[in-house]
Structure 1
């Protein structure tokens, strides 16, 4: 019965014709599934007391699916903090926070060293 679908659509349009709904609050956080491609860019913290040698690394993140947050381009630039590069090529779940310069920062689990995100 095609008319049932039409009636539902008209009803939905009529309900939506009232006051404009406010857009959802923008959040700087995005959760997604994607694959990392390291750029082998390493900026050391040069901390003489750091035995492992932590630093900042840059990578491309190939986005497969956004789970929450704003939509992203298929490939974005990300930075993360650690003592070695994250393994390339595996699809993993990521939580990111948008930096002031447009680069996304990879968040770490609570209690870890790096960019903390709620």
Structure 2
């Protein structure tokens, strides 16, 4: 009797999956932030997209400007309940869900999103004990 290919693939697939690094381990790590960063929960409404000109970029990454409506400040200080931000991505952040944002200032003084995690993913995570 000839072995069926799927019976050979299943054990190999199980071994490969069991030896891969866990995405859960990365998500379990505390969320880092800088001492001057703003850490807040809120929603971003995208306003504008500026593409980055690169022949190697197949997804169309670019800088997206947005308005962040802050629901709760966890660390740092927000100048207003709504702050302008920019982030580097190939798609807009969803504007119908809350995210945990870590926002830093760039050299020009603009608010740049360093981290944006859906709040469902961030609820079980904790911020790093200290800024750094």
TM-score (norm 1): 0.64
Q: Which has the higher contact order (CA 8 A, sep 6+)?
A: 2
Alignment of 1:5-20 (within 5 A): none
Q: How far apart, in 1, do the equivalents of 2:61 and 2:54 lie?
A: 8
For residues 108 and 62 of structure 1, the distance between their equivalents in structure 2, rounded to whole angstroms, comes to 16
Name the structure 2 match of 1:32.
40
4+ residue segments displaced more than 2 Å:
99-103
Q: How many residues align?
A: 84
More helix by share: 2
Partner of 2:101: 94
Of residues 76, 95, 100 in structure 1, which corresponds to 2:83?
76
Pairs within 5 Å for 1:46-57: 46-57=53-64
- Unaligned ranges ≥5, structure 2: 1-33, 117-131
CA RMSD, Structure 1 to Structure 2 (Å): 2.0
Give the structure with the larger strand fraction.
1
**Structure 1 counterpart SS, 2:40:** strand
Question: Any unmatched runs of 5+ in structure 1?
Answer: 1-25, 110-117
